[in-house]
Amino acid sequence: MAKSVPAIFLDRDGTINVDHGYVHEIDNFEFIDGVIDAMRELKKMGLRWW
Say if 36 falls within a structural domain.
yes
Is residue 13, in this structure, part of any structural domain at all?
A: yes
- Name the domain count of the chain: 1
| 14: containing domain | 7-49
| Rounded distance between C-alpha atoms, residue 30 and residue 8, angstroms | 21
Q: Which pLDDT does position 18 carry in this prediction?
A: 94
Q: What is the pLDDT of residue 34?
A: 97
For 8, 39, 41, 44, the CA distances from 49, given in Å and listed in that order, are 5, 8, 11, 12
Establish if 44 belongs to a structural domain.
yes
What are the tens digits of pLDDT across the range 1-50?
Answer: 888 888 888 888 888 999 988 889 999 999 999 999 999 999 899 887 76
In a domain, 32, yes or no: yes
pLDDT of 11 reads 84
Question: Hey, which residues are catalytic here?
Answer: 11, 13
pLDDT at residue 10, as a whole number: 85
32 contact partners, CB below 8 Å, separation of at least 6: 15, 16, 17, 18
Q: What is the pTM of this model?
A: 0.70
